[in-house]
Structure 1
């Protein structure tokens, strides 16, 4: 830009020069006229054609007989004014391919308008009505053969060029451009001054675009080649399939069902369910006014049958009892007023993120079981044979009773789900928001055969589709379904296009990480005896075979809680008081004395927080709180004088223990743990010290559990805000809730630090410190969050980010304080070793699974190529011209699949050869494929040459690869859920 700026003036001058006749001023006569002597005045310039000399009207009309949508201007002696081909005499004649005149032309309406991507064009147009009319076809066919798409079937006044529809179609799919904005831009290109009144043709544009989307889907699915025509389309047939998923008799080997148990995961289909409440639809229009085109033929379930099932279903009664998911608990009340659909429930292929055929349905009042059950069953009708790994953010609840609920559906939806054919799981980032007990069996990190699937792909598809949410919200049922079907079809196709590079990068990552984790696993395993490793391994293997066995990834805390410790001490004191000769020192027991001190400590912390706010409006409340606290301390001092009289003497010599001060929250309470070591043994009876030590240990455990619980809640609040909270009012309330939750986490952390400091003072250093560690601010983070220092370091070095189970560094708060003493520490070590083993296995599975998916893609593309070639001569009711079109289109589609297969093979072949795996017929060279060119550096120069099979781009591509690699990792880890 700095180099360009000095040239800006010269460029500006050239832009202004365009408004003149420029270098053609000397040619005032038309150079296109046949006779230079009788040449007519040159006044017309076509702004759509390349810049050239001006022409006369007659020559311009002659040259534009097939270019009726070009823009013209006329030189009036002072400037170029807008004119048109219609004004200078162009008449478009349809039905005569040879350009001959028609002896009986039928004129179109006078206001006939052709809309192209450069705006509106008034055109004089004639239909053929002579003896060639039979060959030319009906008026509608004549228009279509001119690439004019009519807005109506009878006497159209408006047509849209095919190139316009193609242009808008790709803009809407890639750029998510709305129909309104695109049509408005066409009007601005026609006239951006407001001096012309254009007839509003927006409604016809919407209608034509809806038809165009539908026709393109039919064409790409091969329906034009089928003798049964459009009416023979089967449910889900218009959906673009995932080539990497297992499809029996298409891309699976013949013996896939007979493989050994350790390789069965290679032929498991991974699917994910979830609901998106962004894709709402207001309660406007109806199917009578806006019918659904091809209902049930693509991604949406067939609407009529779906509504019949929903009609017999009442309010949501069975909701999630597991923590973390307001989407279910608010199913009947969430943002449903005024909406016909509160969102959509979807089923996708979770490993490759393809929308599944008949895997989408509208939700009415949140995320009901019946909605998700019905959608899931319809999506699985095409995948009944293969085993499935199903992820859902509430799978722990949804999977209960799924078989019974399905039996209530119509008989054709009673799909077989044999025991063991489906494994249920919770997406990785959602799993952390659930309670830990009995949930390891739902973790993708621990399920054998899950590889590195994260189950969060459905969230990424929601993020991708959200730009169209606002425009589809106000559409009728047919228009909205058409747009969403088209978007998802485009998204699936782009997934196929990108699969080659995506799998290459995934395999590179898997190969690297598998080696790293295997080395780490082997090194750590060597630290323990073979007997210990065998015992730990047996526990995991037994649990993997039967998840009702004890969970090796979770140990329920056996450390006693504060309430339990109080009960134990109370029973002990009660037994002592019942002994003969026992005399009570005070009406408050020793346990009551220490408990009162701990309560005062907690009250003091809250009062310090209250005083730190410096809010003058709350001074009266602060004064009352200080008065109450001072009174409680004075009562405590009286009990203190009975049980620890020597402490009273020590406190009298300490100014920090005085209660006659304004800021009484700063007073020292004088609990045994606060007394210096040299005085504690003489000032405190042993039973008092023992009681506080036991309670402090329980306080540490309770505080840690409280921190973990509050972090869970905080994480859920963040996710709820991102996913479901909109508008200023709800956002403000949610921010307040999140702030309050942060304060709870901070108070729980402060309690732990006080309790640990007191325990250290009472018990001194010891093995317990391995379990109850020093708590830093960096340690207070969710189980899914990585160490902040590590994240900062990665950011500084521009390394790939965390966190993920395969990469993360878990805070010690999630793996400590499970048991008392050294035994608990070893148990935590066992759990971390077990997790390391699982991480290593998942990466090894990923490394083995990716080559199988590559092979499946090649087999699927080969099948699709053969399928298109087989479609060529299926119809017998066509003329020669149509048959040529059917043949050409089938050859083109087959050629596309052949080229994609060749490119994918070229990219993957090197990895397959290095893997040492058996390579079948899918890896044979692709006949007719021309290898793509790659850039190489030769003697310091970059040259382009044909690539050898399996060779990657050289070092000049390294920067692009690094960027793409980081994007892949970011996407796979779902840094931002929508």
Structure 2
């Protein structure tokens, strides 16, 4: 049967030529039935069969009208049409022109209210002619949270849904849509904060009152039990508040609009500080002088990257360091890098809430904390009274540097400001802001083109959503962390106890261990004391040994006892110059390999000049070699001087076979210089690794676009080349020492100069890994708390018989302190996580109680409005109660898991390595891990 002969399936009496693309079944209906069936679905998309194909039509053209101000299905006795019968509704399936009848029963009835009650959001409170359905506003808000799409892109997709040909363009309502989106965001923020239940109303909203708070961070009066401030001293650290400061230079804003034209609706009620007092502060202290850095030359303070054409160069923020939540009144625009005036204001503003002033202990993480905190109190004295804090409180704050940023600091900062080495911080890394920025950065493409107020309101909304996601996923997050913490705590505690008991078995070290422990505890309580994590025995450098040998030559010459003085070189100078020539050969070989296929005349000329200079120096040195090492003369005559200079052997004492005689005094001189060369190579290797780590940080944080990334990659490649050169230098020195060791009975050199494997060449932190296999990358690149530090940083894993050696004792002390710190941090992490779980449950309980009290207050009144408010408040209370019950079920096996961990640690504490109980400990570890997996699977 053809379409022309089809009859309406509803009335069976009329020709069916209409169908709805939204309704299921796509049934063909007549005009009367299609209109009747869409009485409550007037925004569906309709098509008409014209005898050949389906063509576009609208329900408006078929006579569908929307009656506002009355219940569905009821008509108004005195309807009033929309102006010029022209009304546009934006919906999830497109942009629709509709016919609207307003209620005219009452004089002066508010049309905007009628539109809202129908489920549409009006574009204006006066005589609205455009509206958006609440559904499309919710859709856009959620799409922007997850995909970071802009309002313009979303609106364009709606226009194409209605007409993807451009033949029937929809009326342009982009500006109205953007206004409605902004108002909708603002009203939802106020609604979820419960501002409608406060007799002060919206105008009485206090700064930060609309922010979603972190449920796990300590908040007196919200999630802390009674008597929390009278806890014993050894438990008081569990009340610590962990904060993290950082700046984000991706969230720029171009020079668009102004504060007068586009003010913020939130006015400091959420995460951004109130703009007006903030800018007054910045203008007053923008020229504030900053002390010269005593650490590395950090670029954070004077970061002016790509600031031309931008009124805002980024944002500064203060967030939660453990749970990655943004704090209220803790984010503000930056005008020119991370100036202290900006960051001071944001930090003090984030602590301005009265209940936070009651907290006893605060830990602050900031990538330049070592410099920023020095004069903070002095700077604060000049600031407005509204943001000032008690000076004693500021001085009591513990300042640390995030783990990933720490290697870019000088060596003293790497121990003084380390999360890994400082007590009572658990496994906090301080890098939470970086994870939050990765979520918010994609929105920068659209916010950079917004006006100042629109941008701040949009970012406030996104940050609120981020905090809410953290709230309802807190159960899974804390569970995952404590499963890992239990396993790692047992593992690291066992490793420490084995190491500790092994050292205590040596009578010479037992007294030293007691001394080290006392020093460590003293330093943990007062970081101005001697730092047990720092090296105290300086390894000799190559330059220092050369200077010592020169002084020996000078004294021997004065005494008339100088050994075999050549006209050009003394014996020590002869060996030292040989080592220099050896290094120049390696560098020249690298230059040759870098020439490539297409060499310019300038490059070839530069290379030839270096070759000629090295040839002359080698010929000059060979004359001295005939004097000091006559046995090498036949070897020298067999050399082809036409070869490349880096191919010519130098025949130093370490490279001679046992059949060729060599003066033992020359071998001793080379031994001393080679040892110094090995130490110098390790110093160069460590410096190059630190530099490369900083370059990785700089590239990840600031490099955007092809040009900047190319430049950063070039610098990293150059740094990596230095790493490879230093490693090769050490390996050559060690091979020479191994060859010379045949003349000595002492074998301690093998402990002093271990073999340098490729896996040993790693930085203090985990560098980016290009391995695409996630499991392999996890195993080869563990985090600091789960790995052992490479021996190149002063860590030796094997005991040695020469326990009186100061260098060995220095290395053992550092490793013992670090091993103890790793075990302690994991133990602290478990206690912190258990405390945070308790706080989360108390927070949800308190929130539920608050919403119930609001519901009870509204129930006393009897009106449609009060009933709706009562229902919403009770819904919010029920949501918190359900979350609490869900988390309690999820955490049901945690206590048993922690008990198993304690049993494993107790066993390891009583067991020394010689006793064969390792299998028993491993079995208990497997039991603990199985229990953790069962707990995770149950949830």
Superposition TM-score, scaled by structure 2 size: 0.89
- Determine if contact 1:226/1:875 at 8 Å carries over to the other structure: no
User: Matches of 2:139 and 2:707 in 1, distance apart?
Assistant: 41
Measured at CA, do residues 557 and 157 of structure 1 come closer, stay the same or move farther in structure 2, by a change above 3 Å?
farther
Q: CA RMSD in A?
A: 3.0
CA distances 1:778-824 after superposition (whole Å, capped 9, x unpaired): 222212249999x999835x976742121113221112599999432
1:891 aligns with 2:874: yes
1:504 aligns with 2:475: no
1:216 aligns with 2:188: yes
The alpha-carbon deviation at position 58 of structure 1 amounts to: 2.6
Measured at CA, do residues 728 and 952 of structure 1 come closer, stay the same or move farther in structure 2, by a change above 3 Å?
same
- Determine if contact 1:597/1:636 at 8 Å carries over to the other structure: yes
1:573 aligns with 2:548: no
1:534 aligns with 2:506: no
1:239 aligns with 2:211: yes
- Determine if contact 1:323/1:433 at 8 Å carries over to the other structure: no
Superposition TM-score, scaled by structure 1 size: 0.86
Alignment of 1:88-127 (within 5 A): 88-97=62-71, 99-109=73-83, 110-127=85-102
1:450 corresponding residue in structure 2:
425
1:385 aligns with 2:365: no
1:554 corresponding residue in structure 2:
534
Measured at CA, do residues 677 and 215 of structure 1 come closer, stay the same or move farther in structure 2, by a change above 3 Å?
same
- Determine if contact 2:296/2:409 at 8 Å carries over to the other structure: yes
The alpha-carbon deviation at position 293 of structure 1 amounts to: 0.8
User: Matches of 1:842 and 1:816 in 2, distance apart?
Assistant: 19
1:640 corresponding residue in structure 2:
625
CA distances 1:476-496 after superposition (whole Å, capped 9, x unpaired): 111111111111100110111
1:74 corresponding residue in structure 2:
48
1:743 aligns with 2:721: yes
1:485 corresponding residue in structure 2:
460
1:344 corresponding residue in structure 2:
315
2:346 corresponding residue in structure 1:
375
Q: 2:752 pairs with 771, 792, 795, which one?
A: 771
Measured at CA, do residues 856 and 672 of structure 1 come closer, stay the same or move farther in structure 2, by a change above 3 Å?
same
Alignment of 1:939-950 (within 5 A): none
- Determine if contact 1:30/1:54 at 8 Å carries over to the other structure: yes
2:783 corresponding residue in structure 1:
804
Measured at CA, do residues 849 and 582 of structure 1 come closer, stay the same or move farther in structure 2, by a change above 3 Å?
closer
User: Matches of 2:223 and 2:72 in 1, distance apart?
Assistant: 49
User: Matches of 2:899 and 2:865 in 1, distance apart?
Assistant: 49
User: Matches of 2:619 and 2:478 in 1, distance apart?
Assistant: 72
2:609 corresponding residue in structure 1:
624
- Other structure's SS at 2:374 match: coil
The alpha-carbon deviation at position 329 of structure 1 amounts to: 5.7
Measured at CA, do residues 269 and 740 of structure 1 come closer, stay the same or move farther in structure 2, by a change above 3 Å?
same
- Determine if contact 1:608/1:665 at 8 Å carries over to the other structure: yes
2:927 corresponding residue in structure 1:
none
- Determine if contact 1:325/1:716 at 8 Å carries over to the other structure: no
Measured at CA, do residues 405 and 799 of structure 1 come closer, stay the same or move farther in structure 2, by a change above 3 Å?
closer
2:525 corresponding residue in structure 1:
545
- Determine if contact 2:406/2:413 at 8 Å carries over to the other structure: no
1:184 corresponding residue in structure 2:
156
1:257 corresponding residue in structure 2:
229
- Determine if contact 1:95/1:127 at 8 Å carries over to the other structure: yes
User: Matches of 1:224 and 1:393 in 2, distance apart?
Assistant: 41
The alpha-carbon deviation at position 527 of structure 1 amounts to: 0.7
The alpha-carbon deviation at position 648 of structure 1 amounts to: 3.6
Q: 2:817 pairs with 834, 838, 852, which one?
A: 834
2:691 corresponding residue in structure 1:
713
Across the two proteins, how many residue pairs are aligned to each other?
888
- Other structure's SS at 2:503 match: coil
User: Matches of 1:774 and 1:610 in 2, distance apart?
Assistant: 27
The alpha-carbon deviation at position 695 of structure 1 amounts to: 2.1
1:416 corresponding residue in structure 2:
390
Measured at CA, do residues 493 and 786 of structure 1 come closer, stay the same or move farther in structure 2, by a change above 3 Å?
closer
The alpha-carbon deviation at position 249 of structure 1 amounts to: 2.1
1:936 corresponding residue in structure 2:
none
- Other structure's SS at 2:244 match: strand
CA distances 1:258-297 after superposition (whole Å, capped 9, x unpaired): 2233222211011111111111111111122221111211
2:842 corresponding residue in structure 1:
859
Q: 2:447 pairs with 472, 480, 499, which one?
A: 472
Measured at CA, do residues 434 and 820 of structure 1 come closer, stay the same or move farther in structure 2, by a change above 3 Å?
farther
1:429 aligns with 2:411: no
1:849 aligns with 2:828: no
- Determine if contact 1:31/1:53 at 8 Å carries over to the other structure: no
Measured at CA, do residues 652 and 70 of structure 1 come closer, stay the same or move farther in structure 2, by a change above 3 Å?
same
2:331 corresponding residue in structure 1:
360
CA distances 1:239-269 after superposition (whole Å, capped 9, x unpaired): 1001111111222122222223322221101
The alpha-carbon deviation at position 157 of structure 1 amounts to: 2.2
Measured at CA, do residues 250 and 748 of structure 1 come closer, stay the same or move farther in structure 2, by a change above 3 Å?
same
Bigger drift between 470-479 and 67-76 goes to 67-76
User: Matches of 2:769 and 2:380 in 1, distance apart?
Assistant: 46
- Other structure's SS at 1:909 match: coil
User: Matches of 1:251 and 1:80 in 2, distance apart?
Assistant: 62
Unaligned runs of 5+ in 2: 505-509, 901-929
User: Matches of 1:607 and 1:316 in 2, distance apart?
Assistant: 50
Measured at CA, do residues 431 and 320 of structure 1 come closer, stay the same or move farther in structure 2, by a change above 3 Å?
farther
Measured at CA, do residues 572 and 820 of structure 1 come closer, stay the same or move farther in structure 2, by a change above 3 Å?
farther
Alignment of 1:135-284 (within 5 A): 137-284=109-256
User: Matches of 1:118 and 1:194 in 2, distance apart?
Assistant: 16
User: Matches of 1:561 and 1:243 in 2, distance apart?
Assistant: 53
Measured at CA, do residues 581 and 677 of structure 1 come closer, stay the same or move farther in structure 2, by a change above 3 Å?
closer
Measured at CA, do residues 746 and 801 of structure 1 come closer, stay the same or move farther in structure 2, by a change above 3 Å?
closer
User: Matches of 2:859 and 2:782 in 1, distance apart?
Assistant: 59
1:911 aligns with 2:894: yes
User: Matches of 1:916 and 1:557 in 2, distance apart?
Assistant: 42
CA distances 1:55-79 after superposition (whole Å, capped 9, x unpaired): 3323332332332211112222222
User: Matches of 2:527 and 2:585 in 1, distance apart?
Assistant: 47
CA distances 1:495-535 after superposition (whole Å, capped 9, x unpaired): 11111111112121112222222222222222122434323
- Determine if contact 1:246/1:269 at 8 Å carries over to the other structure: yes
Measured at CA, do residues 522 and 955 of structure 1 come closer, stay the same or move farther in structure 2, by a change above 3 Å?
closer
- Other structure's SS at 1:298 match: coil
1:939 corresponding residue in structure 2:
none
User: Matches of 1:708 and 1:740 in 2, distance apart?
Assistant: 15
User: Matches of 1:260 and 1:464 in 2, distance apart?
Assistant: 40
2:912 corresponding residue in structure 1:
none
1:403 aligns with 2:386: no
CA distances 1:59-116 after superposition (whole Å, capped 9, x unpaired): 3323323322111122222222221111011122222226443343221133311111
Measured at CA, do residues 253 and 879 of structure 1 come closer, stay the same or move farther in structure 2, by a change above 3 Å?
closer
1:334 corresponding residue in structure 2:
305
The alpha-carbon deviation at position 147 of structure 1 amounts to: 1.3
2:38 corresponding residue in structure 1:
64
- Determine if contact 2:568/2:624 at 8 Å carries over to the other structure: no
User: Matches of 1:874 and 1:577 in 2, distance apart?
Assistant: 100
User: Matches of 2:183 and 2:256 in 1, distance apart?
Assistant: 20
The alpha-carbon deviation at position 313 of structure 1 amounts to: 2.8
Bigger drift between 142-151 and 892-901 goes to 142-151
- Determine if contact 1:95/1:133 at 8 Å carries over to the other structure: no
